[in-house]
């Protein structure tokens, strides 16, 4: 089973774009808010090399860019 985590923060418009897509599609993904939990930002930097959000970590690999994340769900996610 694919392991997914979405790193984001409330108030980030690019994160909102991804959260809106997930909500519209009824997709539930574990999320980590890097502002509420600074340790999760450090974790993201370790995984992907930068703290930019949104970032979807797929089986330990970082995928940045909101539009690429949405595209990933369109291509790969089976409900």
Ligand X SMILES: N[C@@H](CCC(=O)N[C@@H](CS)C(=O)NCC(=O)O)C(=O)O
Q: 31 near 5, Cβ under 8 Å?
A: yes
Question: Reduced to 3 states, what is the DSSP secondary structure of residue 64?
Answer: strand
Q: How many chain residues interact with ligand X (CB under 6 A)?
A: 10
Q: Are 48 and 62 in contact (CB under 8 A)?
A: yes
Question: How far is the C-alpha of 3 from the C-alpha of 24, rounded, in Å?
Answer: 21
- Please choose, out of 6-14, 19-27, 35-43, 71-79, the segment that lies near ligand X by the rule CB under 6 A: 6-14
Q: List the one residue from 14, 21, 72, 73 that touches ligand X (CB under 6 A).
A: 14
54 binds ligand X (CB under 6 A): yes
Among 41, 51, 63, 72, binds ligand X (CB under 6 A): 51
Residue 66 found at the interface with ligand X (CB under 6 A)? yes
Dist. CA 71–CA 47, nearest whole Å: 21
Binding status of residue 62 toward ligand X by CB under 6 A: no
State the residues that interact with ligand X by CB under 6 A.
12-14, 50-54, 65-66
């Amino acid at each position: 089973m694919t392991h997914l985590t979405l790193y984001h923060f409330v108030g980030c418009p690019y994160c909102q774009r991804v959260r809106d897509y997930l909500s519209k599609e009824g997709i539930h993904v574990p999320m980590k808010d890097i502002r509420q939990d600074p340790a999760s930002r450090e974790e993201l930097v370790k995984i992907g090399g930068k703290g930019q959000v949104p970032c979807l970590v797929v089986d330990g690999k970082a995928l940045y860019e909101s539009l690429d994340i949405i595209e990933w769900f369109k291509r790969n996610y089976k409900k």
